Structure 1
Amino acid sequence: MVKSAPPPPGIYVPAILFFKENEDFEVPAIKAHVLRLAQGGVTGILVQGSNGEAQHLSREERKEALRITRQTLDENGFKDVVIIAGTGAQSTRETKQLNEDAKEAGASHALVLTPSTWKPIMNKDLILRFHREVADASPIPTLVYNFATVTAGLDLDADTIATLGEHPNIVGTKLSCGQLGKLTRLVTTHPAQEFITFIGRSDTFLPALVMNGGGGIMALVNIAPKAHRHLWDLWNKGDIDGARDVQRLLSHGDAISSKLGGIGFLKALVSKEFGYGGPTVRAPLAPASLDKLSGRDAELIKELIDLEKSL
């Protein structure tokens, strides 16, 4: 079987999803956000990832989020922007269904989270079996999503991910662990044209590029897509000092957003600075406000926003 093609290297965003106060989709805000991200120079959008609250969506809502995103991109001249669908459920059967849905709704690839409800029995053999069976049945190429925070601490090692990369329909990984050693081992095991390794955190974006990573799928891109693109361009032009200065802001921004509310903070900041959406998240998540943003944190976020708006 011929090896499937991975998504292209670049800047990807696990897009936040906006809700009305009753937790229904706020479609105009979702469309406005997708358009701003595309105009900001992202290579692709991850729909129904962890930052898109995928675990809080019904199967039909997952499909609808994908359809809205693909339609918005196509109608505004961004047909080349890639859509990756976050999939991965607690059963192999449902994960296969989600991959079928993703293909139908316009995604070119699926990012598959490892099941974790039965973490004590999820040994390496079961993890390999799950991802292989899903990839065997998937109508689109799959990537392995490693994010211990949302999988009860289940953290895949480089050997496991590299072994999965031998499968003809498993074409990459997102390392939300942010571990540069793991990324280095993977990029020096499989050629990038067959298996792409994305870092999953903005605070390690430039270091990952130094190690020939394929780019990143990073939550902070929701706030500053142009700043991430600027770093990417500076790095590729050889302006290392300029890239380091942008990385300084991305590293602080990543830490501040995590500290002050994560998804809810990102939504609140987008709403304030770019004029659409609101802070509503689906329970049991709690909404965040910007009230706790003060002192040096506020200065650093302002510097990041000022850079974003200047580009």
Structure 2
Amino acid sequence: MAAHTNGVNGAAHARALTPGIYAPIPTFFKPETEDLDLDAFAGHVVRLAKANVRPLVAGSMGEAVHLTHAERASLISTARRALDAAGLPDVPVIAGTGTGSTRETVELCHEAAAAGADFVIVIASGYFAGALSRDALRAYFVEVAEKSPLPVIIYNFPGASGGIDLDSDLITELAEQCPNLCGVKLTCGNVGKLTRICATVSEKSFAASHPRKNPKAPFLVLGGFADFIVPSTFVNGHGAIIGLANVAPHACAKLFELSVASVADPSRLPEAQRLQGVVARGDFTIAKTSIAGTKDLVERLYGYGGLPRKPLPPISAKAAQALWDHPHVRELVAVERELSGKVAQ
């Protein structure tokens, strides 16, 4: 795919999709009105990018289902402007565009491109999950990939799509068939599935036999949880898109760095395994509290975060304190502060 025109600054700029850690950025709301808090959002995007964590806007963690089209576009353009202003013009922006119908999903892909996104990530709608056969799901992703002006990442998240769980054969077949697909995020947590997909798409022969429409957007296999970054790297996975990176960006980025280093130098593996344990325990504990818990931790750590948009309930004060006091969280926070150069508190 040729360089697209950035909808914010009007400059043609093809940014690369590369292995690493990506964070689905929470959407922050003003407490009294539930309007977008774009200042907090912009600051958080830059904070993470400086820790080598790239942003995904309007995803599940970003409460995309609670956002209007205009709000999605505003978040994308805000992220792009913030990154450019911070001297980070090469950091790409991924935008969530999956919604109820194929037609609207394609529409959102075009709107994301106009707002300044570089890639989109698309989930299958779960509203009519029982009626969506394997052929219907294949047709959905094929049509979206063909009509999207931006490269498309498949988002496999059964918990948010009515239980739809794409298997490794279908994902691999889609990767082979659709040159505008540039990856998959596996929030099914299935390491075996990740291994099987990587066994095909991570081979050099795959890129030669099935070149991408955009040469800067190879097909990446990304985990959806932080607890198997080391194992996925050793089967030629490409990193992860993880909510935990909002809380501990330096720790998550360092874990991926150590994982890659360990493949070339096994003496680094014990260090990677130790950090993987810290991150995995923290991820397991924090994930139980979902978006509200993550936002509360971000508030405690960075001074912004706030509440989810209704009807999603906030975390209770008791549960929030218990999460903050949990030994797995305290251990993760200590490591994050150490890696970010702060004095542990």
> Normalised by the shorter chain, which TM-score bucket?
over 0.9
**Do 1:202 and 1:251's aligned partners in 2 also have CA atoms closer than 8 Å?**
yes
**Do 1:5 and 1:141's aligned partners in 2 also have CA atoms closer than 8 Å?**
no
Select the residue among 131, 145, 156 that pairs with 2:155.
145
Q: Spell out, residue by residue over 1:218-266, the C-alpha distance to the aligned partner (whole angstroms, 9 max, x if none).
A: 110000110011112222332111111111111111111122x211111
Quickly say closer, same or farther: Cα 1:287–1:294, change in 2 above 3 A: closer
State whether structure 2 residue 272 is matched by structure 1 residue 250. Answer: no
| Separation in 2, partners of 1:236, 1:146 | 24
State whether structure 2 residue 332 is matched by structure 1 residue 308. Answer: no
| Separation in 2, partners of 1:297, 1:247 | 21
| Aligned residue pairs, count | 307
Indicate the structure whose relative CO is greater, using CA pairs within 8 Å and at least 6 residues apart: 1
Q: What's the CA shift for 1:106?
A: 1.3
| Separation in 2, partners of 1:107, 1:297 | 38
| Separation in 2, partners of 1:147, 1:254 | 17
| Runs of 4 or more above 4 Å deviation | none
Aligned to 2:269: 240
Aligned to 1:88: 98
Aligned to 2:66: 56
**Do 2:227 and 2:276's aligned partners in 1 also have CA atoms closer than 8 Å?**
yes
Quickly say closer, same or farther: Cα 1:310–1:76, change in 2 above 3 A: same
Aligned to 1:229: 253
Quickly say closer, same or farther: Cα 1:140–1:164, change in 2 above 3 A: same
Give 5+ residue unaligned stretches, structure 1.
Answer: none
| Separation in 2, partners of 1:121, 1:111 | 22
Trace 1:176-187 onto structure 2 (pairs within 5 A): 176-187=187-198
State whether structure 2 residue 66 is matched by structure 1 residue 79. Answer: no
Trace 1:198-217 onto structure 2 (pairs within 5 A): 198-217=222-241
| Separation in 2, partners of 1:151, 1:302 | 33
Q: Spell out, residue by residue over 1:120-149, the C-alpha distance to the aligned partner (whole angstroms, 9 max, x if none).
A: 210011111111111111111111100000
User: What root-mean-square deviation, in Å, do the aligned CA atoms of Structure 1 and Structure 2 show?
Assistant: 2.0
| Separation in 1, partners of 2:274, 2:25 | 25
State whether structure 2 residue 34 is matched by structure 1 residue 23. Answer: yes
Quickly say closer, same or farther: Cα 1:297–1:183, change in 2 above 3 A: farther
**Do 2:286 and 2:323's aligned partners in 1 also have CA atoms closer than 8 Å?**
no
| Separation in 2, partners of 1:296, 1:107 | 34
State whether structure 2 residue 294 is matched by structure 1 residue 266. Answer: yes
**Do 2:229 and 2:256's aligned partners in 1 also have CA atoms closer than 8 Å?**
no
Normalised by the length of structure 2, the TM-score is 0.85
Trace 1:62-141 onto structure 2 (pairs within 5 A): 62-141=72-151
- Residue 312 of structure 2 aligns with an amino acid whose one-letter code is L
Aligned to 1:286: 313
| Separation in 1, partners of 2:160, 2:323 | 31
- Residue 283 of structure 2 aligns with an amino acid whose one-letter code is D
Normalised by the length of structure 1, the TM-score is 0.94
| Separation in 2, partners of 1:20, 1:83 | 23
Larger mean CA deviation between 224-233 and 187-196 belongs to: 187-196
| Separation in 2, partners of 1:295, 1:149 | 23
- Residue 239 of structure 2 aligns with an amino acid whose one-letter code is G
